Every structure is written in structure tokens, then in C-alpha cells.
């Protein structure tokens, strides 16, 4: 299980301001910090406040790549912005994201093929996010079929069951866990799975406890990746321990230290 660093997101004030002023310092500081903490990808999201999404995404990609070699996860609902970013990515990127809807899947999977990018497929469609695992898994199957028809390998498709805050959607928790398990049964080879980890605790108290507990539980249910706060040391330790318990890493008495060093 690996982490996509979530912090370069226009939902944060310092990032929104950096984009507005075209001042790369906050972006580059967070890029380096998240890389040092072991992020495998960096999420870049211009946020809703950026008026020109294409320009903002291109700028984010450019200034991030000036200081960091990690692959990027381009996070926007504006596919022109995603494509502008893909054009200048030095490493194969991840597209974040596409719902199970035509013609959005057509545009995104064609782009993914052209730029050899991975894709996050959201288990939602025109009807929105459904409560039950059954419907989410059915949408995952549509994403799998569509990706396959564009020649996207399953290891490059990440299904996101979609996580809602537990203080407003508490009954979704077990459905998300069930979706994570069942998505592994819809195809062979199976697609990968990803969640937006911090969504679980938005607006709640003691956020980091909720985040790391959710991480451990999702890893136990087979989670492959998370968009998350990689700078949270206790989260990193929890992930390291969960990986040992799920037999994803060899046990070592110094495993936490090792994880901190190697990511
Ligand atoms: N799935 C996928 N991509 C995603 C998400 C997802 N990208 C965005 C998001 N969800 C994951 N990233 C974040 C980033 C920040 C927060 C939550 C998820 C967050 N921010 C603080 C808040 O809203 O309380 C901002 C606080 C501040 O303004 O300082 O929690 O689900 N594929």
C-alpha cells in the first residue's frame, strides 16, 4: 500500500494563495517535504478557486517538477487541465479521476493510453454516490470494462469506492470496506483500489485518530493506495504496522524506522 501526498491542493489557503500569486515557494516546500516523508506520488489539485484550471495545473506541474522527481497525480474535474498537465509530466502520471460515465470515460481512457498514465475510476455516475457496496461494485465493473476496451492494464486502474465523512455518512463505512474486498473479485487480474483517506474525518474531532484507524482497516481489506497526509508520522507508523500484519513486508524489529527511511 502506498501513499499519494494530498497536500498540494487549492483547498488549503497557502496553496490557493501560491497559485493566485504564482509564487512557487509553498508548492515546492510541500513537494520536498512529502517526498522526504515517503510519498510515492504527489497529488496536484488547483482547487475550485483557481479561475483558469488549465493554466493553474500546468504551473503546478512545472514548479513541482523543478524540485522533485516523483510522479504526479493530476486531480481535477477539468479534463483540459489534466491533459495540459500530462503533456509536460516527466514521469508516467496518474489521472485523478473519472466517474463511470460516458463520454467522460472515453476522454480519460484515451488520454491515459496516449500518455501511459494510470487512472483513478470513481465508483459513482450521473446518479451520484450510492450507499451500498453492490452498486459501487457494479460501477467498478463498468470502469474495468471501459478501461479494458482502451487497452489500459488493470494494474493502472485504481478503483475509488468514494469515502464520505463519517460524521455525516457513518453507515457508508462498512460498505466501503466491503467494496474494497469485492472489487478484487470482479476481474482477473483485478484492478487496484485507492481511497481519499482524509475524507473520513472531515469536520470531525480527533481527525488523525480516525484517519490512521481507517488506514489500518482499509489495508486489512486489501487497499492498494491512499491519497493521504503522508506528513502525519503516526499515520506512517500505522501503515507500516498494518503492512507487517498483512504480510506485505517482512517483519523486522526496526520496521517502523525502516518504513520512515524507505517509504
Ligand atoms: N478520492 C480521490 N481523490 C481525492 C479525494 C478522494 N482528492 C482530494 C481528496 N479526496 C483527498 N485530499 C484531501 C485533501 C485535504 C483534505 C481532505 C482530502 C482535508 N483538508 C482540510 C479540510 O477540509 O478540513 C483543509 C483544512 C484547511 O483548509 O487547512 O481534510 O476521495 N481519488
- Residues 33-82 have pLDDT tens digits of 999 999 999 999 999 989 999 999 999 999 999 999 999 999 999 999 99
Pairing state between β 94-99 and 72-75: parallel
Contact 21, 35 (CB under 8 A): no
> 23 lies in a domain?
yes
> 183 lies in a domain?
no
How many angstroms does the Cα of residue 73 sit away from the middle of ligand 1?
14
Beta carbon of 76 within 6 Å of any ligand 1 atom: no
pLDDT band at 257 (very low <50, low <70, confident <90, very high): low
> 135 lies in a domain?
no
Q: Residue with the nearest Cα to atom 4 of ligand 1? A: 196
Domain tally for the chain? 1
How many angstroms does the Cα of residue 9 sit away from the middle of ligand 1?
8
Contact 200, 229 (CB under 8 A): no
> 105 lies in a domain?
no
Beta carbon of 2 within 6 Å of any ligand 1 atom: no
Phi–psi pair at 220, nearest 5 degrees:
-65, -25
- How far is the C-alpha of 56 from the C-alpha of 2, rounded, in Å? 26
Cell of 236: 506512517
pLDDT band at 142 (very low <50, low <70, confident <90, very high): very high
Beta carbon of 224 within 6 Å of any ligand 1 atom: no
Neighbours of 215 (CB within 10 A): 24
CA nearest 207: which of 171, 242, 235, 247? 235
In what helix (H) or strand (E) does residue 257 lie, and over which residues does it extend? helix 255-262
In what helix (H) or strand (E) does residue 2 lie, and over which residues does it extend? strand 2-9
Contact 27, 250 (CB under 8 A): no
pLDDT at 256: 62
Pairing state between β 128-129 and 124-125: antiparallel
Beta carbon of 238 within 6 Å of any ligand 1 atom: no
Q: Report the pLDDT averaged over residues 109-129.
A: 98
Looking at every residue in the chain, the average pLDDT score rounds to: 96
pLDDT at 252: 78
Beta carbon of 211 within 6 Å of any ligand 1 atom: no
pLDDT at 258: 55
How many angstroms does the Cα of residue 196 sit away from the middle of ligand 1?
7
Beta carbon of 193 within 6 Å of any ligand 1 atom: no
Bigger pLDDT: 250 vs 25: 25
pLDDT at 180: 98
Chain centre distance of CA 228:
8
Contact 38, 262 (CB under 8 A): yes
Q: Report the pLDDT averaged over residues 161-167.
A: 98
Q: Report the pLDDT averaged over residues 98-105.
A: 98
Global confidence as pTM: 0.96
> 55 lies in a domain?
yes
Cell of 206: 480527533
> 71 lies in a domain?
yes
Domain housing 61: 1-91
pLDDT band at 242 (very low <50, low <70, confident <90, very high): very high
- How far is the C-alpha of 67 from the C-alpha of 72, rounded, in Å? 13
Lowest mean per-residue pLDDT among 16-25, 228-237, 251-260: 251-260
pLDDT at position 259 over 70: no
Q: Could you identify the residue written with the cell 489500518?
A: 216
pLDDT at position 233 over 80: yes
pLDDT band at 254 (very low <50, low <70, confident <90, very high): low
Beta carbon of 79 within 6 Å of any ligand 1 atom: no
> 250 lies in a domain?
no
pLDDT at position 263 over 80: no
Cell of 166: 463519517
- How far is the C-alpha of 250 from the C-alpha of 247, rounded, in Å? 7
- List pLDDT tens digits, range 181-206: 999 999 999 999 999 999 999 999 99
- How far is the C-alpha of 255 from the C-alpha of 112, rounded, in Å? 36
pLDDT at 251: 86
Amino acid at each position: 500500500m502506498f501513499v499519494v501526498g494530498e497536500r498540494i491542493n487549492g483547498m488549503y489557503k497557502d496553496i490557493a494563495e501560491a497559485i493566485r500569486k504564482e509564487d512557487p515557494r509553498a508548492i515546492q516546500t510541500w513537494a520536498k517535504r512529502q517526498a522526504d516523508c515517503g510519498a510515492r506520488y504527489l497529488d496536484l489539485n488547483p482547487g475550485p478557486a483557481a479561475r483558469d484550471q488549465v493554466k493553474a495545473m500546468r504551473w503546478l506541474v512545472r514548479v513541482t517538477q523543478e524540485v522533485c522527481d516523483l510522479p504526479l497525480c493530476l486531480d481535477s474535474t477539468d479534463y483540459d487541465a489534466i491533459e495540459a498537465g500530462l503533456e509536460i509530466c516527466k514521469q508516467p502520471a496518474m489521472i485523478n479521476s473519472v466517474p463511470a460515465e460516458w463520454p467522460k470515460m472515453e476522454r480519460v481512457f484515451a488520454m491515459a493510453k496516449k500518455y501511459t498514465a494510470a487512472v483513478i475510476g470513481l465508483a459513482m455516475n450521473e446518479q451520484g454516490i450510492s450507499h451500498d457496496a453492490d452498486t459501487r461494485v457494479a460501477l467498478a465493473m463498468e470502469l474495468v470494462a471501459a478501461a479494458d476496451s482502451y487497452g489500459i492494464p488493470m494494474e493502472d486502474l485504481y478503483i475509488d469506492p468514494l469515502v464520505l465523512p463519517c460524521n455525516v455518512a457513518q453507515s457508508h463505512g462498512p460498505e466501503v470496506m466491503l467494496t474494497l474486498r469485492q472489487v478484487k473479485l470482479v476481474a482477473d487480474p483485478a484492478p487496484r483500489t485507492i481511497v481519499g483517506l482524509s475524507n473520513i474525518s472531515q469536520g470531525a474531532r480527533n481527525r488523525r485518530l480516525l484517519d490512521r484507524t481507517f488506514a489500518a482497516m482499509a489495508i486489512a481489506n486489501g487497499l492498494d493506495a491512499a491519497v493521504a497526509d503522508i506528513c502525519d508520522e503516526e499515520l506512517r507508523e500505522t501503515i507500516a504496522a498494518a503492512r507487517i500484519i498483512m504480510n506485505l513486508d517482512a517483519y523486522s524489529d526496526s520496521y517502523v524506522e525502516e518504513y520512515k527511511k524507505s517509504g
